[in-house]
Every structure is written in C-alpha cells, then in structure tokens.
Amino acid sequence: MQANPGFSVVFDLQLAHGLCSGVHIPPWQGALPDEALGRLSGEEQRYATALAQGRQSTWVAGRIAMRRALQRLGVKADSILPDDRGAPILPSTVVGSISHKRTLAVAMVSEAAGWTLGVDLEDHSAPVKGIARRVLTPREKDEIDRLSEAGRSRAVLLRFSLKEAIYKAIDPFVKRYVGFREVSVWPADNGSAAVAIHFVSDPALAVETCWMEYGDYFLTSARARAIDRAETR
C-alpha cells in the first residue's frame, strides 16, 4: 500500500442538482506538504497557509474537489477564494458549493441557470446527541419522537444536513443567518425531500433538496432560485 496517498479523488457522481466530486483528506500532521500546495494557485496558497493548521487540509481538499467538479463541466478557475460570507467565488458561468468532514471533501457544480447550489456532508456512523432541539421545528420533533430510538439520531442528522445544504443554496439571496427552525424538511426513503420555508424573503424562493448515502456519510444537496411571489400562491 502507498504510504501516503495524498489528496485523491474518490468519486465523481451525477446528483440531481449537479456534478459532485469527492476528495479523500489524508491525516496530515503539521504544515501542508508541497504536493498539496502545488495544486493551488499562488493566491490560494497564501490564503491556505494563513489558516489555522487544523483547517488547512479541509480548505485545500475543498478546492481540489471543486476543481475536479469544474473540470468535468469543462470550466477552469484560476483561484477559488471565499466571498465575504464564506462561499466559494466561482466563474460567472457556473454555480457550486463545498462541504467537508475530517477525511472527505465534496464539491458540487452546475452551469449557471438561475439556480444557486448547496451541498453538505455529515458522518452518520456515530450517534449525534443534543442537536434535535436546535435543528428541528416542533412538528419535525414530534414526527421524529415517534421513531425508534435507533432511528432518531440518523433522522435528526439527515434533517440537519439537508438544512445546511439549503442554507448554502439560499444564502446568496437572503444574506443573513437563517436558523434551522426557519425551514422544515421531510426526507423520503427514495432520496427526495419536501421543503417548507417559514420566513418571508424578497425575492420569494423556490427550494429543492435531496439526499443519498455515501459510505458512512449523508450527502445532501439543494438548489434555490428566485420566483415571482405569484408562483408561490
């Protein structure tokens, strides 16, 4: 086995909302190696090396995943730096989003056609405790309380992930913190999910979301677009 496989592409998927690529994050200790930095532009290298060491590998892996996804669309990006709200700045012909956990980063892209995108990744292998009250609306909580104890942790985490993907997709329109209880989601076993937005936004938004499992992860995606308020009636 190779001693250190580096940041390697582990999947290329076609999701409902865009092309998604995943990059394995190897367990680096200390500063990032030249092999990883060499895959970034000069501006990105400067940005990455100024981050706290624990954050450098996920930021770099997100860029590598994003470049891979863009390459599949035939789009080149010189530098992928964050905007003033933290979202990746991409060429104007595309929209995209990034998520990462300790050992995996994902990026999803699509051609720009009025929709914005969000992607999220959550590890469901270990039970997550104590987030239900913050993440769920009272109605969602009632529904989840009816599940077996074993199913509850997964059910909460899946809703958390769907809402984070939605947050990333709607942030360019609302440009504010949106609490988890301002949105409801109802995931179905087939990977689809219904969404209800409980706040009034200008413009009004159409939001779609869906999910799948990749190994120990929930991989969720969302897209949003502005609509005439009449379309919501």
Ligand X SMILES: CC(C)(COP(=O)(O)OP(=O)(O)OC[C@H]1O[C@@H](n2cnc3c(N)ncnc32)[C@H](O)[C@@H]1OP(=O)(O)O)[C@@H](O)C(=O)NCCC(=O)NCCS
Residues in contact with ligand X by CB under 6 A are 58-59, 62, 82, 85-88, 97-100, 120, 163-164, 166-168, 171, 177-178, 180, 182-183
| CA–CA dist 170, 174 (Å, integer) | 6
CB of 189 to ligand X, least distance (A): 22
Our CB check for ligand X shows the closer of 58 and 153 to be: 58
Report the residue number whose CB is nearest to ligand X.
86
Please identify, using beta-carbon distances, which residue of 96 and 152 lies nearer to ligand X: 96
CA 196 to chain centre: 19
Q: How far is the CB of 200 from ligand X (least distance, A)?
A: 14
Write out the two tokens for 206: 């159409």
Smallest separation, CB 134 to ligand X (Å):
10
φ, ψ at 108 (rounded to 5°): -125, 140
Question: Nearest approach, Cβ of 1 to ligand X (angstroms)?
Answer: 28
Type of residue found at 103? T
Angle, vertex CA 135, rays to CA 190 and CA 138, nearest 5: 90
Taking the least distance from each CB to ligand X, the nearer of 107 and 146 is: 107
Distance CA 61, CA 118 (A): 17
Q: Write out the two tokens for 21.
A: 């690529």
Cβ nearer to ligand X, comparing 152 with 195: 195
